[in-house]
Structure 1
Amino acid sequence: MADQSVFRITKELSELQKNSDLSLAVACRDVDVRNVKALIIGPHDTPYEFGFFEFSFKFNKDYPRKSPQVTATTTNGGRCRFNPNIYSNGRVCLSILGTWRGERGEEWSAAQGLESILLSIQSLMSANPYENEPGFEDANEPADKKHQKDYVQKIRHETLRISVIQRLEEYLGIGPDGVVAAPATTKDDYDLDMDVIDDDSSVPFEPFKDLCKRRFLWYYDSYLAAIQKGKEEVKDGQPFVTMPFEGSTNTMEGKFNYTELERRLRNIKKALDDEAEAWAAEGLVAKAKETTVAVNLQRQFEQVVESFKRSDTPHNLELADGNPFVWVLTYFGKPMTNLDGGLFRIRFRFSPRFPEEQPRIKFETRLFHHRISPDGTPCYFAPLSRREDAKSHIDAVIEALEEENPPYDPRTLVHPEAFKLYWGSAEDRRMYNRRLRRSVQQSME
């Protein structure tokens, strides 16, 4: 039975990791599949939008006959209740977990699993989470409407403050003032002399660190837009309204301060940009020491250049200052498309810890495109199975650029203005095409 449960958990983890769902991620230490960490990225058009919410799963030997134990860990140290059904102590109230009374047929069954639990939790992160409170249907209408609005406002604020800003500040080792704190030893620390990664099991397990950094760059402008919306609705210093269902030790208390959040958000953006810039200097040291990553990236670069020649691809690829950790691609717009005639310079920065840290990519030539953020960060999907293949990142960026009929997916919202026009009315789409063409023409000037 124990072996069967391990096999089932391993299979579910593998399937989820292959899944292209951009809002869910799972991970575990290789030696411990019964303890799983999961990340849910808050849904679009909700107060949880693009927040990073982490949960821990403990699977017992009776799984899947019995449900796992699930705990929310994004709680600001047990001080923040993010939902009527997600308590500040980490308790997740769901009928399928046996932590909440449900209707007949809503209880746990062996047909359910890790993904169905995550999707059930994600469904709690709605546009109006106040509705999740039992008895909502019988609530007093005028007061109830006010409470719903107040609840959404404080969840939006704390989603930004706790799930995004605090998390990224910890990952980057910076304080609320943006100053770098004393460096802590992490699993990502790289010994260039030894050419190994320290694998001390006592180091905190942070499997979503790189993912959250890259997604922050995708969603940066959406975070700024949420802050602007918050500033229009509440004043700095205004205290949160306590909800009727919040108890003394299971609440979300605090005051609004969007001005402070914006300052910290901009500090994080700068720290991430500085981090990618620093990789170039680290890379030159790694190149001089002929580390495995440096040699591998140099070889991959040469192979990509050869593949471009063999396929008569017009794009040009070169190393910046001979550094194998900084690739510069000159992309020629695809003929007979809106990109036709464009000439775009794209910089690929690789970490000395590649592929554990995935490349940071930026369009240095401005392009108005729904899959490229205003600062030039592309939204693309390299196959997880080929994450160590540098060319897969180039191919994925080009595919995102040239995709003619992409499915609507708000998780790819990286340029709010372009996204709104692209998916708007027929007139909006015409405006989008005009602005895209104008940016293409400007790329040749």
Structure 2
Amino acid sequence: MSNQSIIRITRELSEIQKTSDLSIAVACQDVDVRNVRALIIGPPETPYEFGFFEFSLKFGKEYPGKAPLVLAITTNGGRCRFNPNIYAGGKVCLSILGTWSGERGEEWSSAQGLESILISIQSLMSANPYENEPGFEDAKSEYDKKSMKDYIAKIRHETLRVSVIQRLEEYLGIMPDGTIDPPVQLSPDSEIEVLDEAQLSFEPFRDLCKRRFIMYYDSYLQTIAKAKISVSEGQQFAKMPFEGTGNSMDGKFLYSELERRVKVIRTALDEETHRWATEGILAVQKELGVAHLLQRQYEQIVESYKRNDTVTMDIGLIDNNPFVWQLTYFGRPMTNLDGGLFRIKAHFSPRFPDEQPRVIFETHLFHHRISKDGVLCYFPHRQDEVKSHIEAIIEAIEEDSPPYDPRTLVNPEASKLFWGSAEDKKNYNRRLRRSVQRSME
């Protein structure tokens, strides 16, 4: 591969990684920029909603003169065709990739790149993917309408089962019977586990998927609850006209089982979060660099907020453990949070910043960015700086008129009111103020 190709790919990777796009992530192993992994999070309000779809991109020496080879990885071992244009064997049919004959002007050009490829794939994950099959764009018969509905239903089920549940179960070591491989028992003489990509299979999106699962947990359960009404438990998937042997999506609806598995995953993630505290104490005892890093940032941030006249925030460590922070935020005057006192706990991993902190509101706050059980949805500008995390926490809860972005809405009930009618918004503000008032009780 020429130096120009490597420079081009490196720049494109860096640009995507620096953006605030919440639906696309990219990574490569070490300096091997020719082999890229990409994650697309299923668009809201589609059957792919909040699913985790992974792709492999291999760039040849002719790039950008020639498009990379793109393969879908999230296929349930080659048994699940997630779209008319995304085959069970991994093939992605797009004119810009040269894998489909499109209209003139839709073919690949050197002006396109990694981001345009991923956006094109994401566009296939529409509210009605049935229409992606050539010849079905104008399907209007009753048979076609029923097929569309059946196709959407099974994609929604398999998005949950394959792209979300199976992926998280593999990350967490959850067995088919629901039991979890017990974590290694740590002692003062134990070595702290470090996720070394040279020793483990390359899983660059492990932490991202775990964090998003926690954020979208209520949405997954809500999707299951709605879907259980429309299909019968054990009902077979309908076969689509364009599906063939070895390139289909076969199975049956088992939403009750999916619901159980989703709850097991959430329990396992909560247990993992609490284990970080124990691992953190050992990291302190061993004087590991991450322990010094968090302790130093803690001391600097405490001093910084003592001098801050605009935000009142008390910061402490639970049991003097730099891996568990206790934040006490006082609602800023002249905002909806005025007069409130909120206790927030931030759990840090011994692998920070490779694994990002998990932030829980211990004080109940009715808010569209806070789930019913206190999980905060926020995104720092600098993932390696704790101060950036704290600033993002404050920004997320104080923002008065945020743009509508369903990827950030982790409380379905609060979100529906916030972006509903004028009367809904008044109801939202009343419930928010009531929770603020109760925070002082």
Same fold, TM-score > 0.5, yes or no = yes
Contact 2:326 2:345 in 1 (8 A): yes
Q: 1:350 maps to which residue? A: 348
Contact 2:139 2:145 in 1 (8 A): no
Asked if residue 113 in structure 1 is aligned to residue 113 in structure 2, the reply is yes
Distance 1:227 1:11 in 2: 40
Provide the secondary structure at the position in 2 that maps to 1:109.
coil
- The 10-residue stretch of structure 1 (136-145 or 117-126) with the greater mean CA deviation from structure 2: 136-145
Aligned equivalent of 2:392, options 396, 410, 413: 396
Distance 1:156 1:138 in 2: 23
Provide the secondary structure at the position in 1 that maps to 2:12.
helix
Deviations 1:4-44 (A, max 9, x none): 01000000000000010100000001220000000000001
Contact 1:364 1:376 in 2 (8 A): yes
- The 10-residue stretch of structure 1 (231-240 or 170-179) with the greater mean CA deviation from structure 2: 170-179
Q: 1:142 maps to which residue? A: 142
Q: 2:93 maps to which residue? A: 93
Contact 2:365 2:435 in 1 (8 A): yes
Q: 1:415 maps to which residue? A: 411
Aligned equivalent of 2:226, options 221, 226, 229: 229
Aligned equivalent of 1:387, options 369, 383, 393: 383
Q: 1:244 maps to which residue? A: 241
CA gap 1:137/1:380 in 2 versus in 1, 3 angstroms: closer
Q: 1:362 maps to which residue? A: 360
Provide the secondary structure at the position in 2 that maps to 1:361.
strand
Provide the secondary structure at the position in 1 that maps to 2:15.
helix
Contact 1:282 1:352 in 2 (8 A): yes
Distance 2:196 2:411 in 1: 38
Deviations 1:394-418 (A, max 9, x none): 1100011111221111111211111
TM-score of the aligned structures, taking structure 2 as reference length: 0.96
Q: 1:443 maps to which residue? A: 439
Aligned equivalent of 1:376, options 368, 374, 377: 374
CA gap 1:149/1:198 in 2 versus in 1, 3 angstroms: closer
Contact 1:195 1:292 in 2 (8 A): no
Contact 1:195 1:291 in 2 (8 A): no
- One-letter code aligned to 1:375: D
Asked if residue 433 in structure 1 is aligned to residue 421 in structure 2, the reply is no
Contact 1:317 1:330 in 2 (8 A): yes
- One-letter code aligned to 1:352: P
Distance 2:399 2:336 in 1: 11
Asked if residue 171 in structure 1 is aligned to residue 171 in structure 2, the reply is yes
Contact 1:213 1:272 in 2 (8 A): yes
Distance 2:98 2:197 in 1: 36
Q: 2:102 maps to which residue? A: 102
Aligned equivalent of 1:219, options 216, 220, 227: 216
Provide the secondary structure at the position in 1 that maps to 2:25.
strand
Distance 1:367 1:192 in 2: 41
- The 10-residue stretch of structure 1 (307-316 or 290-299) with the greater mean CA deviation from structure 2: 307-316
Deviations 1:283-303 (A, max 9, x none): 111111211111111111111
CA gap 1:148/1:200 in 2 versus in 1, 3 angstroms: closer
Aligned equivalent of 1:303, options 300, 321, 333: 300
Provide the secondary structure at the position in 1 that maps to 2:279.
helix
Deviation at 1:138, TM superposition (A): 5.3
Provide the secondary structure at the position in 1 that maps to 2:322.
strand
Q: 1:337 maps to which residue? A: 335
Q: 1:158 maps to which residue? A: 158
Deviation at 1:229, TM superposition (A): 1.2
Contact 2:214 2:375 in 1 (8 A): yes
Provide the secondary structure at the position in 2 that maps to 1:321.
helix
Distance 2:221 2:44 in 1: 14
- One-letter code aligned to 2:389: H
Asked if residue 321 in structure 1 is aligned to residue 319 in structure 2, the reply is yes
Deviation at 1:192, TM superposition (A): 8.0
Contact 1:40 1:118 in 2 (8 A): yes
Provide the secondary structure at the position in 2 that maps to 1:136.
coil
Q: CA RMSD in A?
A: 1.7
Distance 1:137 1:434 in 2: 46
Q: How many pairs are equivalent? A: 438
Distance 1:362 1:249 in 2: 44
Contact 1:25 1:38 in 2 (8 A): yes
